[in-house]
Structure 1
Amino acid sequence: MTPDLYVPLVTPFTAAGGIAHDALEALAEEVLADGARGLVALGTTGEPGSLDDEERDRVVEVVGRVCRRAGARFVVGVGDGRRGLGRWKTAPDAALATVPAFTRPGEAGVVAHFTALAARSGVPLLVYHVPARTGQQLTARALRELAAIPGVTGVKYAVGGIDAETVDLLGDRPAGFDVLAGDDVFAPALLALGATGAVTASAHLDTAAWAELAATGDRALGHRLAARAAALFREPNPTVIKAALHAQGRIPTPDVRLPLLPAGPRALAGVRLGT
């Protein structure tokens, strides 16, 4: 089966500071037309922490509507799941929930947390494992425990590299459990090792190429996309991606909300030059 490509959408802003709903809808339609099989609303790239409840609801509504029209997979980020789980008007195909941050509850605590979340979730859960943000490492053994929880169907795997635990997990992936590459720079390598898909913010700009990589596994293409991703992540995500989308005329401003600051001109120049 061909790996699935998901694009975690940015939240475009107007010059007045509100959400540019028309631009969000157009962007969602564009990346699906170019080969993405699904979209993530309110992932880290969408700056959910800077949005109020009404804005988050509206983003979910817009992205969900586009996905339903296109027959695409629709995923919503819910933070650690303690708020926002189940409050949407358009139910997604899955909810993306992070490992609890800052508290570092240990692997047993993480398993207990997702067991409780799955019991009250009306949709399947994807675990978002990103230890650079949460401070919590998980072994392949712990991820297999998570995979055994009814209602937990996959993991967005963003550990900042490829190590023995990565090889262990992908070498004996639980049946029916998706492992989605979540670090853009390492996503081509994880796909080569057997990841079932990728969630890549840089695919805003290279959607068709990422879809081709998922379908073919072309090594040279993977190298090019990894280099492009490195350029897009030279400053905090999604600042450079938004600057590039604005330069292309696809969103009305490159603006982000505090605590993020807009990308500098050197970062954008690096993307334009492909360096």
Structure 2
Amino acid sequence: MEPSPRGLFIPLITPFTEDGDLASGALEKLAHAVIDAGAAGLVALGTTGEPATLTAAEQHTVLDIAARVCRERGATLIAGAGSNDTAGSARALRDLAAWPEVSAALTVVPYYTRPSEEGVVAHFTRLALHSPVPLIVYNIPYRTGRVLSVQTLLRLASVPGIAGVKHAPGAVDQDTVLLMSRLATTPPTMAEPPGGFAVLAGDDVFASPLLALGAAGGILASAHLRTGEFAELIAAWHAGDAGRAGALGQRLAPLSAALFAEPNPAVIKGVLHAQGLIPSPAVRLPLLAAGHDSVRAALALC
């Protein structure tokens, strides 16, 4: 298994032209820019990239571009793959073998059908057994409808082939604190996966508190902007520089809140377009482009 992911990962937006087509050149330039600014790697086809609205050909183009950039730059590539269907998720994961640069798959907890926690463990155990790459469980209960207890998260941490979790519970709650405490003091009771188990911050506003508790890094959409400071935030917490890290976290949290004032990635795209970094602020339905007030408020914090 690859070493567990660590550092800042940018879940890339998918830029579109004014006509609504995939803007491949802008995507490649943006991928290079965030790595230049300090990102350890990229996430292709994460939720921020609007993969549900992309054709299969467009998804392949996004992966081709991200793979090429990461190969050229020696950066880590994580790919979003999977849904609430175990068999379909297994097929999507197998398809990632076509891109050898992919080092892990970000795979969401099954949504809408709301399986039991036992069902969630069975789902990921089946996927990890046959996946060509390690899995990063995407735990985001306010989207999936399924809350995972600390006991279930620790069980997932012990499954061979699961490298970590993108943890986005919407708060630094009791289970989060207990999870970080357990991982810091003792490994899971069953066999620990090679390379360890990484908790990656997935709620941008709460990234700094989770890093303070010991998170290995973050998959942070907000870090499309002020990328270097988000990378420095992670590095400062890892170095034990609580004063520097705390000050950075306080500065960056308002930006994250502003960028999520409307459904992601609308505001991020509006800001990137206003800065001349992508050709249009367009998102695809059912999302709508961000309002001018939201974009202006976020720009003022960039």
CA deviations over 1:99-145 (Å, ceiling 9, x no partner)? 00011111100000001101120100000000011000001110111
Q: Which of structure 1's runs of 4+ aligned residues deviate more than 4 A?
A: none
Is 1:188 the equivalent of 2:200?
no
Distance across 1 between alignment mates of 2:301 and 2:91: 39
Contact in 2 for aligned 1:245/1:251 (Cα 8 Å) = yes
Partner of 2:240: none
1:129 aligned onto 2:139 = yes
Contact 1:124 1:151 in 2 (8 A): yes
- Measured after TM superposition, the shift of residue 147 of structure 1 is 1.1
- Aligned pair partner of 1:57 in 41, 56, 60: 60
Amino acid at match of 1:84: A
Please name the residue that 1:140 is paired with.
150
Mapped contact 1:2–1:215 kept (Cα < 8 A): no
Report how far residue 179 of structure 1 moved. Answer: 0.1
How far apart are the structure 1 equivalents of 2:6 and 2:80? 20
2:71 to 30, 45, 68: 68
Number of residue-to-residue matches in the alignment: 275
Tell me the CA shift for residue 86 of structure 1. Answer: 2.3
RMSD, aligned CA: 1.5
1:197 alignment counterpart: 217
Query: What is the distance in 1 between the residues matched to 2:76 and 2:140?
Result: 22
1:254-274: CA deviation from partner (whole Å, max 9, x where unpaired):
000000000000101111222
**One-letter code of the match for 2:117?**
E
**The one of 2, 18, 30 aligned to 2:33:** 30
Task: Find the partner of 1:105 among 102, 112, 115.
Answer: 115
Q: TM-score, normalised by structure 2?
A: 0.88
Q: CA separation in 1, counterparts of 2:5 and 2:140?
A: 24
Contact conserved, 2:138 with 2:165, CA < 8 A, in 1? yes
Residues 100-249 of structure 1: matches in 2 within 5 Å?
Answer: 100-173=110-183, 174=187, 176-217=196-237, 218-249=245-276
2:265 aligned with 1:265: no
Q: CA deviation at 1:84?
A: 2.0
SS in 2 for 1:186: helix
Query: Structure 1 CA distance, aligned partners of 2:82 and 2:51?
Result: 9
* Distance in structure 2 (CA, Å) of the matches to 1:97 and 1:3: 17
2:99 is matched with which residue? 90
TM-score in terms of structure 1 length: 0.97
